[in-house]
Each structure stands twice: as structure tokens, then as C-alpha cells.
Amino acid sequence: MVARPSRARAKPRSLYDEQAEELRKKGVELQTQDDDEENEEQDDDRSATFVAEPTQKKARARTGAVAKPRTNAAPKQATALFKAVSAAKQGRKKVTTQSAAEAWAVEFATSPEKGAALLTRFAFECCGAVDAKAIVGDSLDEDADDAAWTQLLTSLGDQLGSKATPRAYPLHPTAGRGDAFEERFRGAWAEVVDASARGDRGAYEETAISLIVDVLTRLSGSAVAHARHVGGAGAMAVGDRLAEAATSIDDRLVIAKRQLRAALGSSKTPKKGSKAETCQQTVDDLEEARTKCDEALDELFEGVFSKRYRDSKPEVRAAVVKGLVGWVQARPSKFAATKYLKYAAWVLDFQDGAAVRASGARVLAAAFACAGDQKDTLRDFALRFAPRLGEMAHDVDPDCQAAAIQALRALKDCGLLDELELGEDEDATLRDNVYAKIVDQACSADIRSDALAFALDLEEFDANTSQGDAQRSLRDLGRFVEASVLGDDGPTTLTSLAADAFLALPERASLLRDWRAWVALLQRDDVDAAASQENQRLVDVLLRLCARSAETDSLSAAPALLEALPALLTKYGGDDDLLQTVCALGESASQASTKDARYVKACKALLDRVATTSDDASLNAAAKAIRAFSANSTDKKLSKAVSKCISEAAKPLLEEPAGDNDAVEAALMAAVKRIQALAQAVDVPAALSGGAALAEALAARAAQLADDGDVNAKACLEALGALVLWRAKACLDNIDDAGDAEPLDPVITACADGAARALACRYEAPTLALKGGDLHDLELREDDENTMQVTRAALDVVAVLAAAAHPGLKERQGLESMALPVETDAQLCSLVADACRRGDVSLEPCAHVAAAAPPETPARTDLWAAVVARAAKDDADLLPSLSSRLAGTGPDDVARVHLKALEAETLDQVTAKALAKSLVKAAATRADRADALHALLHAGVDAALADAPSTLILLGALRPYVDAAQPKRRGKDAEADSKVDRALVASVRDACAARASVIRRDADDDENWDLLDAFEGALGTHAPAKKKAPRAPGRQFERVDSARWLAAISDERLKDNSYEGTYGAGGWGARASAKLGKVRGKDFRHEKTKKKRGGYRGGAVDLGSNSIKFADSDDDD
């Protein structure tokens, strides 16, 4: 830094002084606005813009109150900078770090001593000082000597407590303020630097920067850990902003020098008054500003970083080393040098403080990433510390591992790693250290991915380096993935990680997209899964890499894969482990634009594999590919091949089984799985002339397996659900051509029968369950996982069936064949409602079944009631959508469902109120809201009076209806709305009065009277009172009968409550009573104030007692 100017010497008025004057005026305006808003008196000798002194409130003593301990108390008279960092409010406004820094700049420009005191107080408050003003005072010499600072730091240490084990301060991790506080803290110091800017040429006010550097340097050298942490972190934030400023000046210098050369032309020196002279002055100013920024950075580095990077406290070390990352990134031309980086490399060996080691590795990563043309100067440095980064890949801390691998990747990207003359052992050890993290399953996916990307970039897999042999490069890649990614027993599914890492390398990704090389490699004779177990694993890796790459580039891969798919299926289709991946390649092949014989041949090859396998994963992958082929082509040959495959798959189910029982069961189960997979892809019923026989066979099979407790019943039920969807789609496609009503589709009947029988198998008596009635009394079978899976699958099928074939379709022309009979629908609804009430199944499929049709039948009403009651209790997120769907069915339907739901045994008061509120909210959105609410109210009232023990619970649930019925809306249609609301309120009152009259008939029964009181109290309304006789003309209105109560007073003194009646006409307040007694309303306060300010003089002051003892009062003795 340059020498600070003497304060005794007059300083010339600079541009900064002019800006300071403007800022000072702006500060006065801001202060005036704050004063007007807060209406508080501020002291004239301080700046309320920067310092906020909250008014002290009087403590109110409370008898028996226990004072709570104060935690994280805010500093007394906290500065605005600390308020901004703490995200606190000053008055009614939230202070920002920018506004607080600008306010400090105003204060420092006006009074440097006061500005220095405020900045020091802010730093002390960040250290945890409760009353920094008591330590620093209102002013501080900006050139304070060592003795003064020693006294300040000693006082700070005394206020903070023990120096060895200080309590948590705001910046410490244990203070509980989080990373946001540290971010605002660093931002505040950066804003302070910005507020010290001078002019538009990157310069800063020297005295301000000198003060900032001096304060932070002295704090970082304190014996108290609080101060060292605050000083170190603040210094690194200031240096970060100065480094950014210096880099910005460098960029501007390039432009300025170019302009200077253009202005000079052939001249060597600029002429006076010319444009070249102006350009030369700009260059000189920028160079001077950059020099001063670098000097300040050097002072911070030498005075703070070089001492605090090895501090005894790990949090202090971590703060300064972490800050160096920003310095290197902001100004690599200066700090990406061995002179500075050696400190970051030294901390890699620190035993305590994992955050310090991780930050050191990040500093090196930033330096290597920004090396550029300076990499030659870092060669010896990298050669020395690269092996240490390899060792850090096995650090005990995951952050250190990730930072070390990122540093090695940066070293590789800049080209230094390839140029290092590492020994053979050192190079092998470095690679092994990183490669070991790839197969380390304890590591996170990000670390494994970074390690793999480093390894793939380090190894040679480019066709250009393999004599142009792309097949060889791909095979080498597969072997590397098998060895390095998977290890000896790793799952091949991890190969997608390798493909993603390889695709992230732009110069290598082209290898994975060389589809001709892929196809040729997979078809080679030496790549055969049957050759050996090791070769089978390699083939699996290659296929998965190919499939993963094809997903990202399906259009380019499609033509080559379409050509090779039949051969690949023939070669690898016999292995179920490989078939799934090959079928996944088929989905990419279906994207080919050509639809010739090769397209049909590839699809036929997939269909042939479906007919020979029963592996679930392979069947699902093949089904996706077949669906893609069928959707992209309408070729008749393709449709014929699909129909043939379906017929062959369904044969075991449609023909009489023969042979060994085990073989028959295996054939039937394989047929079910194939039909299930094909039904997800193509129209199976259309290929089988409607599919009625197949549906009946699947239904019978599902019932049999469910009765045996076999989980394979789930596949039969899923296949039935798919058949129903295909029949519904066909019906909707032909709805325009519909003529006379058609009979019920047999697929729908078979599906309903199979689902009902599967659901009934969960009971001990399935036959009784199918007959209907009260299922709650039936016992369930022993609960096991297989039964639960079958039940969930059956519920899903019923949900599909209810959506596609509910009884309401009977009234829709063209859809009559899809309408379930009412009896069948009632049977299914009864089974689903009981499952919902028992609570042992998921609510979602039950809700889907209920929402498929309105509650037009008793069974549907019972199902709706069970679903909404369960939702009110267990699923608050699903309840609003159910209420909205129910509200759309009609007021009477909603009322019936609510009445039924209130009968549930599990419906407590809280659940009942939640249900009522949800139904009210849904009903109030309807156009006929009055009718909807009216119907809900009457249904709830009937339920309340029908069940006396639960009256309070049920009536409490009805309260939202009455609240919603009150006229509250305003606006253009307020008059019309109020008429509707008043009519509804009148209807509510009439309902209450009618039911109250029923209760009053038996006046001797106290229980009924209690019921009536509870009823009216819960509803918040009462029966209309009888009309009273009209008041006689000329009679004054009275709320109470004065004659009656005056006659009840025995003591005459109590009848006169006037002043004269108590104290007489000569009392002290007689005159005031005579004048103020005539004043009414708001004028009384005005007249009273006038009398208080005047020279009022009254009569005699009577000290006698005027109290009256009541006849029934207790004696004092």
C-alpha cells in the first residue's frame, strides 16, 4: 500500500469528495424519510441511518412468570451493517448490505473518525460483542497505533469471555446462523469495498481501503479466536472483490492501450490537449488503480493469509483457505503461481480440519483450470503435489475425496498431467488410487462419476489412436468398464454410469455413436456369450453400453440397429439376462424412417422371442419395442404377424391342458405372462375376435390362483385390466357408427367376475362375501404379502373397470355394451367399500373406483361415504379433489354421502369437521351453492338428531355450513347474492326451529333440552323469537324495565347516581359536572382537555366515605 496521507496536511478536493457530499445529502434525505415514517425522536449527534438505538420498553412484572433464558442476544445499539448481515429490520424496513455500506461511506466521508469507529464496531459485533459501542466509542482515529488497538482488542476479549474456550459467536458454525449468515457477512465486506470506489476508472479511496485492510489485519492477529476468524474471513472477502476489480482493470487496460495506439499513430508521445493525451491519462490512471489493488492484495496475503492458514483453530484455517479459491479464480494471472499456491498445497497434509484440506484441493483445481499459458510455470509444482492429490482420493472425508479428484481432472484438462515425468510406480499408484473409487460402493454417485470420467479421459479409447479400428476401441472400452467399473462381482446395470461419463467427453463421445462399429463388433464370432462366463459378462457390458448410447442418439442408431436386430436376437436371445438389453435396442431400432421388409422382419424377430421366453423383464422390454413398431407402421404383414403371435401365446389358456401337472402349470403361467406383456402393447381382443374366451379363462385362472394365495394371480388380473381398456378404446373408436344397442361385452363381464372373486378370496368365507350384505362381520384370512399384492391388483382392475364400464354408460348411445349391470357394480362397490373401511389397502384405487360414477345407487353412496371418511382421516391431500368431484354430482347426492359418512365409527370430531369443511368449500364453488349448502345442512341435521350420543361431534361438523351461508360477498352482484344468502339463512333457521319444536314436545325430559341447547349452540343460530306487542306511541325506548328494577331497590341512596346526589352542589367537581354533563360523544374528550389546561378551581374537598354497605354483605370481622 502507498503511504497514508497525513491528516495535518490539507488534502486537495477530489472527485471522491464531491461524491461524498452527494452521498451525505442523500443520507440526510433517507434519514428524514425514516423519521417521518417511524415518528420517533432521534439524537442529533449520531446518524440514525447507520446506527439504530431501539427505544427501551418498560418491563411489565408478571406474578409467577419465569424469565426465559436469552439466546443469541442482538448487540446493543447494533450498527446497520450488522443488522443487514443478521437479516434484521430497522424500523419498518429491512436493511440491506448495500444500503448499509453506502451509509457507512457517507459517514466516513463526513467524519473519518466516526466512520472508522462504525466499521470497527461492526467487526467487533461479528466477533460476538454485545456492546461494541462501549469498547470503541463514537469515534476512532483512523491511524490508531498499536497501543490503541491492543487496548481495543483486550477490551473485546474481556467482554467475550475466556480466550481459550470462547463461546459461540455469530460466524462460528455452532452459533446456528447457518451458511446464509456467512454469505451475507462476506457480501457486506465486499459492499464496503464497492462503496469506497472513486470515479469511473477502477480506483478506490486510499484512506478507506487502508482502514478496511488495517482493521481486518489487526483482528486476524488477535489472541481471541473470534477476532481471528472474523478478520480472516473478512480479509478474504475484501481480497476477492479487489481481485475482481484488478482483473476488470486489466480488461479495460487492453482496450485503453489499443485506443492509445490508435490515437498516437506514428507519434511516440501524445501532444498536449490531443485525444492521445486523454487516452494516455486513462491508461496511467488504470495502471495506478491496478497497482494499488495489487498492493492491497499483497498486504492482505502477507498480513492475514500467510499467518492464519496454519491457525490453531480449524474454522479459521478453513475460512482463509476457502477464500483463496475466489482469489485464484478472480485473478489467475497473479495468484495461479507457485508463490501463492504452495500454501494451499501444504494444507493438504493437515491432519485435523477436513474442510481445510478440501479447500486446499479446490484452490489447486481452480489454479489448474485457469492455468492456460501459465501451465509451464506450474509444471514442477504439479509434479510435486500430483501424487498427494491421488492419495487424497482415499481421504476419510468425502468432500476431500471429491475435491482431490476434481483437481486431478483439472490437471488432466489443462494438459499438465500428460507432460509430468512421473515415475512408473508413481503413475500406476495415482491411477489405482482414483480407479479404486469407481468400484467403491460406499462412495456417492458423484464421486464415482468424477473418478470414472477421469479414468475414461486418461485411458485411450479413441479410434484415431487405435489405428482407426473403432471395433477394437469399443471392445477395449467394454473390457475397461468390466474391470474398473464393475470389478469381479459388480452388477452390469452400472455400465450406464460409464456411458454417461464417456458421453460427457466431447472428443470421445463420437466413438459411442459409431453404430456401424457397434453392429459389426456385436456380430463378430469372437464376441459370443456362449464361449465362456467371462465373455458373457463382456457381451452384457457391450450391449448395455450400446443400449445406453442409443437412448441419447436413437435417430442415428435406428438404421444400423434395424438391420442387425434379427441377427442379435438370434445370437443372444437364448439368454434371458441378455435378451432384455437386446429388446431395449429394438425400441431404438423402431425409430428408423424406413418401413420396408426389414422393418417387418425386425418386429417378427421380437415377436418370436416373446413366444419363447417367460422372463418378466425381457417380456416387458419386448412389449415396449413391439408397441413402438406397431405405432409407427400400419403394414398388414406386421399386423398379421402380431395376431399370429397372440394366438400362439393364448393357446395354452384356451385349449384343454394335457400332460404333467407341473408342466401344465408352467405352460399356463408362461402364457399368462406373454398375454399380459402383449396386452400392454397391442390390441389382443381384436386379434382373438373379441377375446371373450380369453377373458373368461383369465378370470377363472385369477380366481383359482387367488384362492390358493398365489401371487401369480396378479398377472392374470393385470392382463384382464388391459383387455378392458382395449375393448373400451375399440368402442369409443366406433361410437359414430353405432346403431341399435348391443348386448353387454363378455370381456367386461368376465373381468368383473374375476376381480370380484379375487377380492372375495381375502375373506374366510368367499361365497358369503360375494352375496353382499354387511361384510364388516366377516373374518379375513391370515394376512400375508401374497394376498395383499393380489388384493391391490384386484382393486386396480376394479378402478379400470369402473372408469371404462360403469352403469351410467347404459344411457349413452353407442356405449351400452360397456355398461356394467347394476347388481355387478353393487357387488364390486360393496367389496371395495369394505376394503376401504378396514384400512388395510391403499386409498388411491378405492378413490378411483368411487370417482368413476356418481352416488346414484345405495352401493355407490356407501362406497363414496367410505372413501371420503377415510380420506378425511388419513389423506388430507386427496380429500379436496374427492369433495370437488362429489360436489359435481348434485346437492342431494352430496347430502346422502355426507349423511352416510357421519355414521362411520372411526369418524371423530376432528375428522368430521375436516370432512364438513371440505364439502362446504366444494359446494360453495357451484352455481347453485344455496341449494347445495341447504341439502348438506338438512342431511347433517337429520344425522345429528338421529344419533343423540354423537350429537355434539356431528353438530360441530355442521358449523361450516352455517358460516358459509352467511351473506359475506360484496361487489357488482352483491344485492342478488345477498338475496340468495338471506334465503339460505332463513331456510337454516326454519330447519332449526322445526326440529327444536319436535324436541320441545317432551318438555319434562332434561336430556332433550340439553340436546336442543347443544344443537343451537353448535349451529350458532336459534329459533326465531315470538313477536312482541308494539310499543305505545310517545313512549321512550328502554332495553330494560326501569320501573321493575327501581322498585327492587330498598336503599334510597342507590337510586340517585349523580354527582350532586353524592357530594352535593359545593363539592370540588360540581362546576365540572355541571358543564361536562351536557357534553355528549366525541366532544367530551376535547372539553375535558380544555378544562385540564385551564385554571380550574372547585369547592371544598370532602374526605368522608360515601360507600354503601349492602344488607347481604359479609361483616369485616
Q: In this structure, which long-range contacts are made by residues 1013-1020, counting pairs with CB atoms below 8 Å and at least 24 apart in sequence?
A: 1014/951, 1014/952, 1014/955, 1015/944, 1015/945, 1015/951, 1015/955, 1016/992, 1018/952, 1018/955, 1018/956, 1018/958, 1018/959, 1019/955, 1019/958, 1019/959, 1019/962, 1019/988, 1019/992, 1020/959, 1020/962, 1020/963
Q: With the CA atoms of 795, 800, 802 and 808 taken in that order, what torsion angle do they form, in degrees rounded to the nearest 10? A: 180
Torsion 239-240-243-249 (CA) sign: negative
User: In Å, how far are 578, 591, 629 from 574, measured between CA atoms?
Assistant: 8, 25, 22
* pLDDT at position 1034: 62
Instruction: Inform me whether the pLDDT recorded for 297 exceeds 60.
Output: yes
- Categorize the per-residue pLDDT at 4 as very low, low, confident or very high, splitting at 50, 70 and 90: very low
Give the mean pLDDT of the chain.
Answer: 77
Mean pLDDT of 1070-1075: 80
* pLDDT at position 960: 58
Whose CA is closest to 610, among 640, 569, 664, 663? 569
CB 447, CB 401: distance < 8 Å: yes
Cβ burial, residue 266 (10 Å; 0-12/13-18/19+): exposed
Mean pLDDT of 353-358: 88
Instruction: Inform me whether the pLDDT recorded for 1115 exceeds 50.
Output: yes
Q: Bigger pLDDT: 969 or 734?
A: 734
* pLDDT at position 951: 45
* pLDDT at position 752: 87
CB 474, CB 510: distance < 8 Å: no
- Poorest-confidence range of 420-429, 610-619, 1104-1113? 1104-1113
Per the structure block, which three cell numbers stand in for 698?
383369465
Instruction: Inform me whether the pLDDT recorded for 857 exceeds 60.
Output: yes
Distance in angstroms between the alpha carbons of the first and the last residue of the chain: 90
Computed over its alpha carbons, how large is the radius of gyration of the chain?
A: 44
Instruction: Inform me whether the pLDDT recorded for 229 exceeds 50.
Output: yes
Q: Bigger pLDDT: 690 or 980?
A: 690
Q: In this structure, which long-range contacts are made by residues 171-175, counting pairs with CB atoms below 8 Å and at least 24 apart in sequence?
A: 171/126, 171/127, 171/226, 171/229, 171/230, 171/233, 172/226, 172/229, 172/315, 173/315, 175/72
CB 762, CB 780: distance < 8 Å: yes
Instruction: Inform me whether the pLDDT recorded for 949 exceeds 50.
Output: no
